[in-house]
Amino acid sequence: MAQEDIKIVLVDDHTLFRNGMKRLIDRRSGYRVTGEYSDGAEFVANLESLTADVVFMDISMPTMNGDEATRIALQRCPDMRIVSLSMFGEDQYCVRMATAGAKGFLRKDSEIDTVFEAIDRVMAGEEYFSDEMLRSIRRSIREAEENPDALSEREVDVLLGICEGLSTQEIADRLYLSKRTVDAHRANILEKTGCKNTAALVVYAIKHALVEI
């Protein structure tokens, strides 16, 4: 039996952007756009009839913004995978989208291969963050080493690996540590930051001005 296409829904108030993204996605085997909505309110109104594996959600839209639409959608459909779309200069709103429950963050000027990478990552149960945001996180976390009350140098290295989406074994291999030691560092990081998972770590970094946005 042939594998079903990954179903994509686009929520964006710019028709040209939606049309362009739809054409690019539909050209790729295994992916198909199954719905388009011009704002958050229209998307929410059609939740019951929605067929989607991944939703690309614009942040700034008329009637209802992306963060509000995301929050409502996940209250009704907790397993929905929503990826935030932002223009240059809108990265500060990613905090609201992460808090609302978005699984990924993508800039609208990203290459199309990056779009498919984001789809595949969230479909695998992971979070996805753009290279620009990860670079900012890495830079800011290293600067935090200067604060004696912040993470230790080794904890910073482990956190960098976590933010890059590396597995425990991959982090251990990179740092020449045992998996048990990496797990211990991860536990300390979560305790110090009060975070529960990778997405929460990124949100924490942004909220506490560890990340430049």
pLDDT in tens, 150-184: 677 788 788 777 777 788 899 888 888 888 888 88
CATH superfamily of 6-129: Response regulator (3.40.50.2300)
Over residues 178-204, mean pLDDT: 81
With a cut of 80, say whether residue 1 has pLDDT above it: no
CA distance linking residue 202 with residue 211, whole number of Å = 9
Whether residue 28 has pLDDT greater than 90:
yes
Band (200; pLDDT cuts 50, 70, 90): confident
**What is the average pLDDT across 116-141?**
78
Question: What is the predicted pLDDT for the residue at 127?
Answer: 86
Bridge partners, 31 (sequence order): 6
* 137 compared with 41, residue with greater pLDDT: 41
pLDDT given at position 148: 43
Chain region(s) in the chain for CATH 3.40.50.2300: 6-129
Greater model confidence, 109 or 209: 109
Average pLDDT over residues 118-137: 80
- pLDDT at 46 > cutoff 90: yes
Which residue intervals of the chain bear CATH 1.10.10.10?
133-207
| 145 has a pLDDT exceeding 80 | no
Pick the CATH number of 133-207 from 1.10.3720.10, 1.10.10.10, 3.40.50.410, 3.30.1360.70: 1.10.10.10
On average, the pLDDT of the chain sits at 82
Instruction: Check residue 195 and give its pLDDT.
Output: 81
Tell which wins on pLDDT, 98 or 7: 7
